[in-house]
């Protein structure tokens, strides 16, 4: 059985210790996700931070993030402290 995944595109703007995250959309392939970034990067707000961020190199960097998620699988497996 083929494992199905989706690609979530978000845009992060970090300023003065606060973060503003906008979910752009959920796509069936990385190429569709990258096409969405191309469509959005010219608009106000997105144009100031138009790059796709590589989280393995850039932590808390403003710009677009593309994350791949497997379908039908929990992404958070534990509780959390309050």
Which residues are CB-contacts of 62 (< 8 A; sequence separation ≥ 6)?
12, 13, 14, 15, 48, 49, 53
Closest to 37 measured CA to CA, from 2, 47, 4: 47
Per-residue pLDDT reduced to its tens digit, 24-78: 999 999 999 999 999 999 999 999 999 999 888 876 689 999 999 999 999 888 8
Domain ranges across the chain: 5-70
- pLDDT of residue 3 exceeding 90: no
pTM of the entire predicted model: 0.85
Using CA atoms, how far residue 46 sits from 16, 38, 39, in Å, is 18, 10, 10
Strands 18-27 and 5-15: antiparallel
pLDDT at residue 76, as a whole number: 87
Report the sign of the C-alpha dihedral through residues 51, 18, 7, 45, in that order.
negative
Per-residue pLDDT, 5: 96
């Amino acid at each position: 059985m083929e494992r199905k995944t989706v690609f979530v595109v978000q845009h992060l703007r970090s300023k003065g210790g606060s973060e503003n995250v906008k979910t752009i959309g959920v796509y069936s392939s990385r190429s569709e996700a990258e096409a969405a970034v191309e469509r959005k990067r010219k608009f106000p707000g997105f144009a100031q931070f138009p790059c796709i961020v590589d989280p393995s190199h850039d932590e808390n960097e403003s710009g677009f993030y593309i994350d791949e998620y497997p379908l039908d699988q929990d992404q958070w497996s534990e509780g959390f402290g309050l």
